[in-house]
Structures are given as structure tokens and as C-alpha cells.
Amino acid sequence: MLSILTKAQVFSLDLIIAVLVFGSAILIYYKNITNLSDQDEELLDDLLIDAKSISNSLVSQGYPYNWNKDNVVRIGITDNNRINETKLEQFSMIPYNEGRKLFGTAYNYYVFFRDKDNNILPFNESLEGIGKPGVNSTNIQTVENPKKLVKVTRLIVKESDIKKMVIYLWY
């Protein structure tokens, strides 16, 4: 009779240890999953902050007032709340990586304009928008396959008409 009690006590000790190990594994798993979603949320917040900052910079006059691609400190494409075509052209000539530095972002960007009917307004025959080379408004998902993508749209006056300035920022 004594041997049956000993076996039962060993069994319950094994069960307690197994439950503790299994419970710890589940606890660690859920802790890591929660941290991953927090990191994704922080990344999305960073992208949105940078996209708004780029948008605000672009709707400003920039610095210095009559900047060009060689002396620009802050990219801005408007004067008196209207697009300055000269500044827009100068912006298009700034190399992509230099533009990222001037905007103060580590993320990829692409800027383009749409009219009231949502048609894309190209800058010229060969340039639909300004930003990462090889990207356009329709191929970001396929060419870049971004983990996170943020879109900011601003209304702006261009050629005496209200247009949409669209900014994509992604990681």
C-alpha cells in the first residue's frame, strides 16, 4: 500500500512541474506578441509624424526664401499660399537621398498632385511625381511591397485652381 501512495505523489509532482513550464511558455509567448504590436504601432506613428512634417514643409515657402537645389535648407514649394512653379521644378531636381535628408526622414517618400476629378497631374512628360526613383502613384505596393504605408493629402492652389497634393511615406 505504501508503494501506491509514493507513485501517486511522484505523478502529482510531475504534473505540477509540467503545468508550470507550460504556463510559463504561454506567458512568454503572449508577452512577445504584445510587444510586436506595440512596435508596429510606434512605427506607424513615426511614419505619420514624418508625413505631416513633410507636408507642412512643402506647403511653406522653404528656406531661404528664393532657394534653389544648390542652397536649399528647407524644401517649400509655395509663395503666398500658391504653388511656385520654379520651386516645384527645383524640388524635382533635388536628388532623392538629399531630399530625405532635407525632410529629416529615414523613410521613403513620393509626392504627386491630383486634380478635382482625381486625375494625376504630371510635372512634365517624363515625371509624374517626386520621390523614390522607379516608384509612381500606382506601383508602390508592387515595386516596394511596403511593411507600413502612410498617405497624407493636402489641398493646395496650383494654376489658379485647387489641387490635391498627395504624399506617400513608407517603410
Q: Where are the domains of the chain?
A: 2-170
Confidence of residue 128 (pLDDT cuts 50, 70, 90): very high
Place of cell 482625381: 118
Each residue's pLDDT tens digit, 48-101: 999 999 999 999 999 999 999 999 999 999 998 899 999 999 999 999 999 999
For residues 76 and 56, is the Cβ–Cβ distance under 8 A?
A: no
The DSSP 8-state label assigned to residue 119 in this structure reads -
**In this structure, which amino acid lies at residue 98?**
E
What is the rounded distance in angstroms from the CA atom of residue 61 to the CA atom of residue 84?
Answer: 9
User: Nearest CA to 52 among 163, 151, 139, 131?
Assistant: 151
Each residue's pLDDT tens digit, 1-18: 455 555 545 567 777 888
Note the pTM of the prediction, 2 decimals: 0.77
Mark 57-92 as b/e (b = at least 16 C-beta within 10 Å). Answer: bbbebbeeeebebeebeebbbbeeeebbeebbebbb
What is the rounded distance in angstroms from the CA atom of residue 19 to the CA atom of residue 26?
Answer: 11
Q: Is the pLDDT of residue 24 over 80?
A: yes
